[in-house]
Every structure is written in structure tokens, then in C-alpha cells.
């Protein structure tokens, strides 16, 4: 198969049926994300960088800076260099020699911190990264742990599973940054609401209410911090394996299925064997295998490493022990996920209309048990805002990159109930953000068309939907032909303003011409947004009005 660049090679990974002991009719598959050029994080790097270019956060030729010692570093190097950007990777001495060699071969500048800071290697790397950002104005940092473009990258993986299998009943995946499992699960549940999601973590990780043990040996899953991208509400069941169990399962994956994976792949494989044994006939189970074994030849696959770290002394279980969520575990265990309290969830409003209904919506959100928060660039425009007791966050709501950065830095994904607006001017912006975060909402393409009445008329006409006669004009010289086609009386209006602003019923061509001239003279709306620069001349009809913010 021919590909135009290495970036286009990413994705469309193999789906392999596994040979496991299971009841008749149970099918178990491994999604080999390890078959991407460098691993699963290639998807994240591609989506994060392409999205940053689309919204203007990554400028042409700007440096890309990331802190990583694993597959995210390689993914950023692959995609960033392929797109023509300088790439700086900040890492520490624990990086394996193979990854370091690959990064340098790809043309990256690798910054290896010399020692730990007060909070360990991670904080030392972040301090160096901050210095690089200060020294390189305009540099872009993908931020895999907090950037929703990480889980958003796995919509493609979900589509591939649906295309190959038609349906999936159980999804099993490791949890580190929170992107792959929750991103895939959310996308699948749009058409498969019955999906059962099983997360795989390691003993000594604090992601799921366990004590943190920084001495754990597993890499690629687990964490000592709670990433913003982790949405624990998307997970039904969680498994933990200790280092001995994970490493042994990784070796078993190679011996039993001939898949040479890393310890995250091995851990997922071990959970797949348990799920297959207790599944109902007809169940389709898929496990996501993230990483190859290349980087683990000196650890997982090294007898000397096992001896040095006394791995065999750790207890090992052949089946998971069911425990209550929150019970401290030391060996393979499983628990039903306990979701965070719903009362902590926030409903974001991107601006509002300035009438009473806008402020009333904030109160309704609170009555529903949510925490309303208004994102606005000017709180003073809203009379009665103080009486709503809603939190207010001032940011540049006219800039999508600024809005995304504000949401990304301030909120964990699982703390957001949704994003809305009561202002027609921000309906497309809210739709853009809900799509970015995988929250309930309308497609931004649909809302954008609804906001542009000229585009909507054309789309409906193309689809054969009956409507009033209309003409789209972007110059006064076109008005006479438009009036002749539409007839009199006619309505002249801007294509993308709100309410009845600059809408006029015209009884003759001269009046229509003057009104079109007035419409085209307005280049920005009252919120400072650029107008479409076209006017609609429409047949006059008497009937009810339907507005885009009524539909959600």
C-alpha cells in the first residue's frame, strides 16, 4: 500500500484474533497499536499537532517542545519533523538507549536533565521544558496529560474497530495518561452504549484510589499524578497487576501469541485471559496493545534484571481477586469502578445572551445539581450576573486557542458535565469545544451552517428541502437581479447576525438596495466577531421562527 508520508502511515493497525481458553462463541481480539511506526502515541502526536496547526496554536516553523522518555517522544519526533518543525525532547537519564538513539536519528534536539529537582525527575524535566518555552516564544507544547487531543486521537481507532467487527462488547486497555482507553470508549459508546470498559493499572499507581509507590518498575501505565485527560467515569471495572505479574504476562504474550510487546501490552493480555474465561457466549472482547518489546529487552525480557530487582519474590495470582474499590492491593485484583461524586461536575457556559434568560440558565444549572461557570471576556456586560452565584472565568472567548488553553489548564475531563451557551454568537464555539472534549453536543459543522443563513439555504436547496425563494448577494450591484428572482415584498437580512438585527421588510427595489448596502457595511457584530460579508434577499412568508440555540 502506497503512503505519501510517514505521518499518513499512522493508524489502520492490525486486529488479531487471540487463541485463548474461552466459552464457545466468545471472541477475543488484540488491536496491535504497537504496529504504528513507533507505537500507540503516534496517533496522539499526529492529532495534537495537526489540531494545533488547524486552530493556530502551532505556527508554521515554530519549535515543538515535549517532556517524555517513551513513545510520546518518538511520536512527536515523527510527526513534528515530518511537518517541518524543530523538535525538542526533554528527558532524563532513565531513558533507554534505543529510544535515545531513535530520537537523535530523527533530527530532534534531546535535552537530558542532569539531576532530580525537589520533586523528582518529572519536575526536573518540566523545569527545563519551561526554560525552553521562555527562550523560544511561539513554541508549542503538546501536553499529552492534559490535552484533549490525546483522547480525541482515538476516534480513529474506534472507527477501525467498528469497521472490522461491527460491534464490541468489552474493551480492555491500560491507563497512564488516560487518553487511549477513555477516548476509544467514548467514541465507541456513541453507537455502542452497552460497551463494558475495563481499565488496567499497576500496583503502586494512584490513579484509582491506591497509594502511590514510586519504586514500581512498570512503565507506560500508572501514574503518581491524576492526569486531566483521565475520565474515570468512562471505566466500569479496574484491574491492578504487580511488577512480577505484568512482566510474566508480557513474556507469556510473546510465547503464547507470538506478539513481542512491552509491559503494558502484557498487562492487557493478562486481563484479556480473565475476561475471556468469564464472558458470556457471543461476547466480542478487544484489548488495546500499546507498545512493542524493543525498549524492554533489558528489563522485562532480561533474567538478570529480574534477579537484580527480586521480581520472583513478589506474589503472583493466576486469577484476579475481587475487592471493593479503595482497598489497597498488592497482587492482581479487580474492582467495580466507583465514579467520582456528580456534585463536583461543572457546566461551562461560553458567554451568554444579555437578557434574563442567559442569567436564568446559570440558575437552572445549579438547580440540576451542577456547578455553573461562565467563560467571558467581559463580565460587566451581564446585568444580574452577581446574583446567580455562578463562578466567572475571564478569558478571550473570541479566540479558540485561548479558550482551549483555558479549559485544558483549569479542568479535569471527568469534572465537566458539558459546555453550552445561550448566545447564538457562540453556538459554533461551544460545539467546537464539546467535540474536542468528547462531551454531548451537536457537530460543529451543523451548527456552523445553521449560524450562516446563506449556507443553510444553499444546503437545504441542494438537499431538495422546500423553502422560500432566496438570493445571496455580496455586492449592491446584485440586488436588482435578486429582487426580480425573489419578488416583492422581500426580506433583506445579514446572513449571520442574531435575532432581528438589520432585518427589514422591503416593499420596493430601492429600499432593498439601501438595506443590502447597510448590511454589507457592517463588518463585525456586537461581540467583535467578523461578519460573513453577504446579505440574504428572501421571499416574505408569515410563520413561526426557529432559532439554532433551541436545538441541542
Q: What is the 3-state secondary structure (H, E, C) of 462-499?
A: HCCCCCCCEEEECCHHHHHHHHHHHCCCEEEEECCCCC
User: How many residues are listed for the chain in this entry?
Assistant: 552
Cell numbers of 343, please? 456534585
Tell me what pLDDT residue 520 has. Answer: 96
The tens digit of pLDDT for each residue in 510-526 reads 999 999 999 999 999 99
Please say whether the beta carbons of 236 and 197 come within 8 A: yes
The tens digit of pLDDT for each residue in 179-219 reads 999 999 999 999 999 999 999 999 999 999 999 988 899 98
Tell me what pLDDT residue 45 has. Answer: 97
Residue 550: pLDDT above 70? no
Cα-Cα-Cα-Cα dihedral sign, residues 320, 330, 267, 126: positive
Tell me what pLDDT residue 344 has. Answer: 75
Tell me what pLDDT residue 547 has. Answer: 67
Tell me what pLDDT residue 548 has. Answer: 57
The tens digit of pLDDT for each residue in 26-70 reads 999 999 999 999 999 999 999 999 999 999 999 999 999 999 888
Superfamily of domain 460-550: ATP-grasp fold, A domain (3.30.1490.20)
Q: What is the 3-state secondary structure (H, E, C) of 93-156?
A: CCCCHHHHHHHHHCCCEEEECCCCECCHHHHHHHHHHHHHHHHCCCCECCCCCCCCHHHHCCHH
342-448 fold: Rossmann fold (3.40.50)
The yes or no reply on domain 59-135 and CATH 3.40.50.1100 is yes
* Mean pLDDT along residues 100-105: 95
| 342: confidence class by pLDDT, cuts 50, 70, 90 | low
Residue 478: pLDDT above 60? yes
List CB contacts of 344: < 8 A, sequence separation 6 or more.
Answer: 371, 415
Tell me what pLDDT residue 551 has. Answer: 56
* Mean pLDDT along residues 539-544: 90
Least confidently predicted of 91-95, 479-483, 504-508? 91-95
Least confidently predicted of 31-35, 122-126, 294-298, 413-417? 122-126
Please say whether the beta carbons of 181 and 171 come within 8 A: yes
Residue 389: pLDDT above 90? no
* Mean pLDDT along residues 352-358: 85
Q: What is the dihedral of CA 400, 72, 33, 232, to 10 degrees?
A: -60
For the residues of 368-390, what is the DSSP string, one character each? TT-EEEEEES-GGG-TTTGGGT-
For the chain, the distance separating the N- and C-terminal CA atoms, rounded to the nearest angstrom, is 42
Residue given cell 474493551 in the structure block? 171
For the residues of 4-36, what is the DSSP string, one character each? SSHHHHSS---EEE------TT-EEEEEEGGGS
Q: Would you kindly state where each structural domain of the chain is located, as residue ranges? A: 9-35+149-336, 59-135, 342-448, 460-550
Tell me what pLDDT residue 94 has. Answer: 83
Q: How far apart (Å, rounded) are the C-alpha atoms in residues 417 and 419?
A: 7
Give me the half-sphere count of Cα atoms (radius 13 Å) on the Cβ side of residue 112.
Answer: 12
Q: How far apart (Å, rounded) are the C-alpha atoms in residues 228 and 437?
A: 11
Residue 552: pLDDT above 70? no
Q: How far apart (Å, rounded) are the C-alpha atoms in residues 251 and 380?
A: 63
Tell me what pLDDT residue 340 has. Answer: 73
Helices (H), 227-291: 243-257, 263-277
The tens digit of pLDDT for each residue in 130-142 reads 999 999 989 999 9
Q: How far apart (Å, rounded) are the C-alpha atoms in residues 70 and 68?
A: 6
Q: How far apart (Å, rounded) are the C-alpha atoms in residues 19 and 28?
A: 8
Q: Spelled out in words, what is the top-level CATH class assigned to the domain 9-35+149-336? A: alpha beta
Cα-Cα-Cα-Cα dihedral sign, residues 43, 45, 47, 50: negative
Please say whether the beta carbons of 520 and 514 come within 8 A: no
Cell numbers of 259, please? 506478539
Rg value, the chain, Cα: 27
Residue 385: pLDDT above 80? yes
Give me the half-sphere count of Cα atoms (radius 13 Å) on the Cβ side of residue 454.
Answer: 17
Please say whether the beta carbons of 91 and 113 come within 8 A: yes
Q: Do domains 59-135 and 342-448 have the same CATH topology?
A: yes
| 114: confidence class by pLDDT, cuts 50, 70, 90 | confident
| 3-class secondary structure, 166 | coil
Amino acid at each position: 500500500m502506497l503512503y505519501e508520508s510517514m505521518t499518513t502511515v499512522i493508524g489502520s493497525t492490525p486486529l488479531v484474533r487471540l487463541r485463548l481458553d474461552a466459552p464457545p462463541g466468545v471472541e477475543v481480539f488484540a488491536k496491535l497499536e504497537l504496529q504504528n511506526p513507533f507505537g500507540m502515541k503516534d496517533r496522539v502526536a499526529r492529532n495534537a499537532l495537526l489540531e494545533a496547526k488547524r486552530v493556530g496554536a502551532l505556527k508554521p516553523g515554530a519549535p515543538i517542545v515535549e517532556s517524555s522518555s517513551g513513545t510520546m517522544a518518538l511520536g512527536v519526533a515523527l510527526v513534528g519533523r515530518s511537518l517541518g518543525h524543530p523538535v525538542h525532547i526533554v528527558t532524563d537519564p532513565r531513558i533507554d538507549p534505543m529510544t535515545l538513539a531513535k530520537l537523535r536519528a530523527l533530527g530532534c534536539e534531546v535535552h537530558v536533565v542532569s539531576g532530580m529537582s525537589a520533586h523528582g525527575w518529572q519536575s526536573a524535566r518540566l523545569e527545563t521544558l519551561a526554560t525552553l518555552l521562555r527562550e523560544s516564544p511561539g513554541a508549542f507544547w503538546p501536553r499529552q496529560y492534559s490535552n484533549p487531543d490525546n483522547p480525541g486521537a482515538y476516534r480513529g481507532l474506534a472507527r477501525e474497530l467498528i469497521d472490522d467487527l461491527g460491534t464490541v462488547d468489552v474493551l480492555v486497555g491500560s491507563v497512564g495518561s488516560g487518553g487511549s482507553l477513555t477516548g476509544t470508549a467514548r467514541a465507541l459508546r456513541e453507537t455502542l452504549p452497552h460497551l463494558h470498559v475495563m481499565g488496567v493499572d499497576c500496583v503502586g499507581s494512584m490513579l484509582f484510589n491506591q497509594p502511590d509507590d514510586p519504586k514500581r518498575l512498570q512503565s507506560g501505565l500508572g501514574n503518581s499524578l491524576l492526569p486531566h485527560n483521565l475520565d474515570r467515569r468512562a471505566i466500569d471495572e479496574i484491574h491492578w497487576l504487580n511488577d512480577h505479574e505484568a512482566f510474566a504476562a508480557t513474556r507469556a504474550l510473546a510465547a503464547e501469541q507470538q506478539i513481542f510487546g512491552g509491559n503494558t501490552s502484557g498487562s492487557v493480555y493478562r486481563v484479556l485471559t480473565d475476561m475471556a474465561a468469564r464472558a458470556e457466549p457471543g461476547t466480542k472482547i478487544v484489548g488495546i496493545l500499546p507498545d512493542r518489546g524493543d525498549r524492554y529487552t533489558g528489563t522485562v525480557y532480561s533474567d538478570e534484571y529480574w534477579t537484580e530487582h527480586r521480581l520472583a519474590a513478589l506474589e503472583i495470582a493466576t486469577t484476579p481477586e475481587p475487592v471493593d474499590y479503595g482497598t489497597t492491593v498488592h497482587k492482581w485484583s479487580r474492582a467495580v469502578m466507583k465514579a467520582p461524586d456528580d456534585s463536583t461536575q461543572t457546566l461551562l457556559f461560553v458567554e451568554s445572551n444579555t437578557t434574563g434568560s442567559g442569567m436564568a440558565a446559570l440558575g437552572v444549572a445549579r438547580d440540576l445539581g451542577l456547578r455553573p461557570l461562565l467563560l467571558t471576556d467581559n463580565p460587566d456586560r451581564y446585568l444580574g450576573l452577581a446574583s446567580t452565584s455562578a463562578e466567572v472565568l475571564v478569558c478571550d472567548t473570541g479566540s479558540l486557542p485561548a479558550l482551549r488553553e483555558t479549559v485544558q489548564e483549569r479542568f479535569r475531563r471527568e469534572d465537566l458535565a458539558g459546555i453550552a451557551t445561550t448566545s447564538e454568537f457562540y453556538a459554533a464555539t461551544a460545539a467546537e469545544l464539546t467535540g474536542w472534549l468528547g462531551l454531548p453536543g451537536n457537530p460543529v459543522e451543523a451548527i456552523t451552517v445553521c449560524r450562516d443563513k446563506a449556507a443553510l439555504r444553499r444546503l437545504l436547496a441542494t438537499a431538495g428541502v422546500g423553502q422560500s425563494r432566496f438570493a445571496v448577494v455580496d455586492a449592491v450591484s446584485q440586488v436588482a437581479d435578486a429582487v426580480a428572482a425573489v419578488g416583492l415584498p422581500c426580506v433583506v437580512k445579514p446572513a449571520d447576525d442574531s435575532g432581528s438585527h438589520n432585518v427589514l421588510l422591503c416593499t420596493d427595489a430601492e429600499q432593498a438596495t439601501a438595506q443590502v448596502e447597510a448590511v454589507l457595511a457592517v463588518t463585525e457584530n456586537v461581540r467583535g466577531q467578523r461578519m460573513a460579508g453577504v446579505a440574504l434577499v428572501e421571499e416574505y412568508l408569515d410563520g413561526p421562527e426557529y432559532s439554532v440555540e433551541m436545538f441541542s
